[in-house]
Structure 1
Amino acid sequence: MDSVDLNVLRSVLEWRRAGHAVVLYSVVQTWGSAPRPPGAMLALRDDGVVIGSVSGGCIEDDLITRLGDGRLLPDGPPVQLVTYGVTLEEAARFGLPCGGTLRLTEERVGDPAWVAELLERCQAHQIVARELDLRTGEVLLKAASRSDELAFDGVILRAIYGPRWRLLLIGAGQLSRYVAQMARLLDFEVLICDPRQEFVHGWEAQDGRFVAGMPDDAVLSIEPDERTAVVALTHDPRLDDMALLTALDSRAFYVGALGSRANSQKRRDNLALLGLSAQSIERLHGPVGLHIGSHTPAEIALSLLAEIVALKNGVELLQKKLPARVVETVK
């Protein structure tokens, strides 16, 4: 699991252990249009070094200026609220879209033990809620679920960390490695199933977690829900179709299989012969991905993840609804 937020917290932990003073900013509320969503984080070190983002850049510049002017560190309350874009003039000054307003918590990081524990729990594939009390600066870590969202009542900020979306890859070949690396950056927990031992070598632990067993058993064992995507990438119907038979009857929001248009149609025919219903077969994405003229494994991975992220974010895939002759013309 890797993400912008976790990279910010890793730097916070490193800086505090090295003796630096650190201020952690978190977006807690937005009104109108805003460059970054609630939950976005930025850490500012006592020498002006920053990591993360809470806007398009102008607010970051102002935070650094405040540090240089002595308005930050070492005095002041442990946590306070900072609001940008209250007036149209201020919104224009800080590059916020018209009418946009952004509220941040400004948190002076003391003992970094909670940072280390949060990172360890995320590394163990746990979903964690961090509750920050703005009155005292106290931080509590609690177990959370995939459906939990950031909440702020003016006193307690409850932010969620950890892999809330899952991607199960059937096959551990070269393409899967690219997909896994990109998916981690998109906050997916990556799971891999491949009973062929010759493909397992060379995988780094942080790129994904292997699920034992044959593909159909792997799908059943993870209990796919509405935040799970399953993609078959082996090109071997003896492995891919086993996973698809189970995944297409699950609650997974995305089920896809690598292959050409002709092979994808053959796969659908084969799934029908194996007893899968027409309604379930209709859920299959194949060929996978959006058309971007991809040829290399990295480009194919980008195409696949663009489609998965679009569906995750509720975007209608109009490209896939074009008649075949129009698609060929676009190509």
Structure 2
Amino acid sequence: MDSVDLEVLKSGVRWLDAGHRALLVTVVKTWGSSPRPEGAMLVVRDDGLVVGSVSGGCIEDDLIERVRREGVTQPAPEAVKYGITAEEAHRFGLPCGGTIQLVLEPLGALSRLRALLDTVERGELVARTLDMATGAATLGPANATDGVHFDGARLLTIHGPRYRMLVIGAGQLSRYLCQIAAGLDYQVTVCDPREEYTDTWDVPGTTLVHTMPDDTVLDLKLDERCAVIALTHDPKLDDLALMEALKTPAFYVGALGSRRNNAARRERLKEFDLSEAELARLHGPVGIYIGSRTPPEIAVSILAEVTAAKNGVSLPTILQVEGAKAAREEAAGAGSTCDV
């Protein structure tokens, strides 16, 4: 779950502990364009204080006004829709044709919000099932690929770390990349067995391990919600991670380096019995072409490509480093082998 929704849970627990009534609002379905995805949440306190977001702001205003006017008095959760008509879409700031369905849940002892928050803060993935008739919630195991499900009688939502990122190397570029990745709500693990790099690692929100990269990939049991980025420039480390990561369902596997180094890397990886299909999954040189030169710029470039892959966006060749540089060289009539 993203950090905004985590703050929603924390605020809800804090307000209940202080004796307030509160309404938890969850996006359960969208039609057309929508500012926030299914599963997004906000919580409204009985005095109108709000944390979180389910739209661009106008729906929040309507919910706040409702709570201030009526309080949180409903006995059980209810489902409501916004933006059904063009007039409502305009009023509530939804894109043309957009419709959003919300579940409004009065929080209480049956909500099990404290247990949910404790589980999430332990880094565990958990499914919460809400009974619409009683307001009682149950918690259970979840898979990273599970999503929101609402059938009118029950609401199933998934909470916890949805995406993980393994970064090979604890150098300067990794620092910038991991800071941004943590802000994008990845659960970040940094692997580097070299003490000269790891002794000074102090990036908040990341886990540092000193194991060998291939062992780390196997230990993490990577799934479809995982990304692996090799940044050491050392084939002894990067190749170990890549040869195992390319065999996993990870949605993104990439390595830093020039086009020449990337071609050499692919030849080396063939010696590890990787298939052509597995090798074709390797992103390299990593990133999109934005003319990046500094470590922060390179980090932005890499994470832009990771984000596109995460969201199922296929980037045109001209945006990829290799394609963009080749096109530039062709246009200039001169070659260059320097890639960032």
> When the two structures are superposed, what TM-score results if normalisation uses the length of structure 2?
0.86
1:279 & 1:224 partners in 2: Cα distance?
18
Q: Aligned with 1:192: secondary structure?
A: strand
Alignment partner of 1:116 is 2:114: yes
Higher relative contact order (CA 8 A, sep 6+): 1
Q: Aligned with 1:249: secondary structure?
A: coil
Q: Residue type of the partner of 1:291?
A: Y
1:296 & 1:10 partners in 2: Cα distance?
37
CA distance 1:173–1:80, shift in 2 (3 Å): same
2:29 & 2:268 partners in 1: Cα distance?
50
CA distance 1:71–1:327, shift in 2 (3 Å): farther
Gaps of at least 5 residues in structure 2 are 333-338
Partner of 1:171: 169
Partner of 2:28: 28
TM alignment of 1:270-309, pairs within 5 A = 270-272=268-270, 276-309=274-307
Partner of 1:246: 244
CA distance 1:285–1:123, shift in 2 (3 Å): same
Deviations 1:148-199 (A, max 9, x none): 1110010111000112322111112333233233323434322221112343
Q: Tell me how far 1:237 sits from its aligned partner.
A: 1.9
1:307 & 1:202 partners in 2: Cα distance?
28
2:47 & 2:200 partners in 1: Cα distance?
39
Deviates more, 1:41-50 or 1:264-273: 264-273
Partner of 2:336: none
2:80 to 75, 79, 82: 82
2:285 & 2:198 partners in 1: Cα distance?
25
Q: Are 1:191 and 1:209, in contact at CA under 8 Å, matched by a contact in 2?
A: yes
CA distance 1:235–1:322, shift in 2 (3 Å): closer
2:262 to 253, 259, 264: 264
Deviates more, 1:88-97 or 1:292-301: 292-301
Deviations 1:190-245 (A, max 9, x none): 22211123433465696223445211111122233333221111222221122122
2:25 & 2:278 partners in 1: Cα distance?
45
1:137 to 135, 138, 162: 135
Q: Are 2:179 and 2:203, in contact at CA under 8 Å, matched by a contact in 1?
A: no
CA distance 1:119–1:185, shift in 2 (3 Å): farther
Q: Are 2:194 and 2:210, in contact at CA under 8 Å, matched by a contact in 1?
A: no
Q: Aligned with 2:216: secondary structure?
A: helix
TM alignment of 1:177-192, pairs within 5 A = 177-192=175-190
2:178 & 2:2 partners in 1: Cα distance?
11
Identity of aligned residues (%): 53
Partner of 2:150: 152
Q: Aligned with 2:297: secondary structure?
A: helix
> When the two structures are superposed, what TM-score results if normalisation uses the length of structure 1?
0.89
Q: Tell me how far 1:300 sits from its aligned partner.
A: 2.1
Q: Are 1:128 and 1:144, in contact at CA under 8 Å, matched by a contact in 2?
A: yes
Gaps of at least 5 residues in structure 1 are none
Q: Tell me how far 1:78 sits from its aligned partner.
A: 3.4
Q: Residue type of the partner of 2:264?
A: K
Q: Are 1:4 and 1:185, in contact at CA under 8 Å, matched by a contact in 2?
A: no
1:47 & 1:176 partners in 2: Cα distance?
44
Q: Tell me how far 1:144 sits from its aligned partner.
A: 0.7
Q: Aligned with 2:211: secondary structure?
A: coil
For these two proteins, the number of residue pairs brought into alignment is 329
